[in-house]
Amino acid sequence: ETGVTQSPTHLIKTRGQQVTLRCSSQSGHNTVSWYQQALGQGPQFIFQYYREEENGRGNFPPRFSGLQFPNYSSELNVNALELDDSALYLCASSPFGGALETEAFFGQGTRLTVV
């Protein structure tokens, strides 16, 4: 087990609603990244948090936002849900902010379905 835990595991929301997904990073890891994985595709980088600050963002609209807490856990918030937001949302933690060559430890993901 990687030690990264995500909740909930599955979620069904209605178009237009808002959702919050949660991630607890592996012990000792201060960096958390979020990815969206559509069916049959590779994960796509949403953003990363390092020591409670956003530290890089992918090509996602502002309705995707996040937080990191002092204990390094993190939340991903998505407003005004669209059908295309249906995907597996993955959280990954790593031990050193800014380090380019370390393993990223992924959680099992949250399967979000928007209807």
- Asked whether position 58 contacts other proteins by CB under 8 A, the answer is yes
Cβ 19 vs Cβ 66: under 8 Å: no
Diameter of the chain by CA atoms?
39
- Asked whether position 42 contacts other proteins by CB under 8 A, the answer is yes
- Residue whose CB is less far from other proteins, 19 or 92: 92
- CA 55, CA 3: separation in Å to the nearest integer? 22
- Residue 16: closest CA among 87, 113, 82, 115: 82
Q: Which tokens hold the place of 64? A: 């995707």
- Asked whether position 97 contacts other proteins by CB under 8 A, the answer is yes
Radius of gyration of the chain (CA): 13
Q: Pick from 34, 50, 64, 72: which binds other proteins (CB under 8 A)?
A: 50
Q: Pick from 48, 68, 74, 86: which binds other proteins (CB under 8 A)?
A: 48
- Min separation Cβ 68 and other proteins, Å: 13
- Asked whether position 106 contacts other proteins by CB under 8 A, the answer is yes
Site string for other proteins, 63-82 (x = CB under 8 A): --------------------
Q: Pick from 20, 30, 55, 65: which binds other proteins (CB under 8 A)?
A: 55
- CA 22, CA 29: separation in Å to the nearest integer? 16
